[in-house]
């Protein structure tokens, strides 16, 4: 993918600057929604498997958009670069202080384990696009997300899922990569088969799909280079180095 990134509000067709760029594409007689590349479509697939959500616009109000949130601003900026003008700039959604205050105001909040730490949450959107409208119909058939039966992973889709809702798990005896999912508990075999078709042994223990510790390094290599902000999720050899890389991101 190109490293040259246009400002988020500049149309790549006419060079005009628009506050609502997706509206410009929808209403213009000459400028249209940029075509998504195959790489961008695979990223969208992996994101919706993780923490990305696709909106359900009201009838006649335009196309769906995708919202992605994360505590890792560098990751969102990497995503923004992959989508160019199709994505908005990452912005602060809620501060850790706001999240903590909201949590502590809940009558059921349990502070018996000591003080909880809350991180700032950032958000980025992939602008409304006909392809996302199609994805909404395919991935939310009854209004709730459901992985399509004919789903197949690619390295890039797996990378986006892993970064969005996965990571390295360390135990006393093993290290393994895990992928989170909260909506497919009734189909553990289906989830594991997504990895088995690529030669990886996987087990499901709600809410995680765990890849065999003996194949984790191969999986990380299969997914390709770590995106900005997530080098620590590709470190499976040294716990000390993992902790250091993670601290560089999380503080």
CATH architecture of 151-251: Roll (3.10)
Domain 35-146, CATH: 3.10.28.10
Question: How confident is the model at residue 112, as a pLDDT?
Answer: 61
The secondary structure of residue 231, as a DSSP letter, is G
Q: Which residues contact 57 (CB under 8 A, 6 or more apart)?
A: 63, 64, 65, 128, 133
Using one digit for the tens of pLDDT, what is the confidence trace for 95-131?
A: 988 888 888 888 877 766 556 678 899 999 999 999 9
- Asked if residues 45 and 158 have their Cβ atoms less than 8 Å apart, the reply is no
Contact (CB, 8 A) for 75 and 227: yes
- Can you read off the two tokens belonging to residue 100? 């903590």
**Which residues lie across from 205 on neighbouring strands?**
208
List residues bridging with 176 in a β-sheet: 169
Exposure letters 232-250 (e unless 16+ CB within 10 A, then b): bbbbbeeeeebeebbeebe
pTM, rounded to two decimals: 0.88
Q: Average model confidence (pLDDT) for the chain?
A: 90
If residue 91 lies in a helix (H) or strand (E), which one and from where to where? Answer: strand 91-94
Q: Give residue-wise pLDDT tens across range 53-93.
A: 999 987 767 899 999 999 999 999 999 999 988 999 999 99
Element (H, E) at 192: helix 188-196
Which ranges in the chain are annotated with CATH 3.10.28.10?
35-146, 151-251
């Amino acid at each position: 993918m190109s490293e040259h990134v246009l400002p988020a509000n500049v149309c790549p067709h006419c060079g005009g600057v628009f506050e609502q760029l997706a509206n410009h594409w929808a209403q213009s007689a000459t400028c249209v929604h940029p075509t998504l590349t195959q790489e961008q479509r695979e990223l969208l697939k992996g994101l919706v498997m993780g923490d990305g959500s696709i909106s359900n616009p009201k009838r006649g109000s335009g196309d769906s958009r995708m919202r992605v949130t994360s505590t890792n601003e560098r990751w969102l900026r990497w995503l923004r670069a992959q989508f160019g003008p199709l994505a908005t700039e990452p912005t602060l959604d809620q501060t850790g202080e706001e999240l903590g205050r909201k949590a502590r105001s809940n009558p059921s909040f349990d502070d018996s384990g000591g003080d909880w730490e809350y991180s700032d949450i950032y958000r980025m959107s992939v602008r409304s696009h006909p392809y996302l409208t199609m994805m909404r119909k395919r991935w939310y058939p009854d209004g709730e997300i459901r992985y399509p039966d004919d789903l197949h992973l690619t390295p890039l889709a797996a990378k986006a899922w892993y970064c969005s809702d996965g990571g390295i798990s360390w135990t006393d005896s093993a290290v393994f990569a895990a992928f989170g999912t909260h909506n497919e508990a009734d189909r553990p075999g289906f989830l594991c088969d997504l990895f088995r078709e690529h030669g990886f042994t996987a087990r499901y223990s709600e809410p995680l799909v765990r890849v065999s510790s003996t194949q984790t390094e191969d999986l990380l290599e299969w997914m390709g280079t770590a995106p900005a902000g997530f080098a620590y999720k590709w470190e499976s050899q040294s716990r000390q180095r993992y902790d250091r890389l993670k601290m560089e991101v999380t503080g």
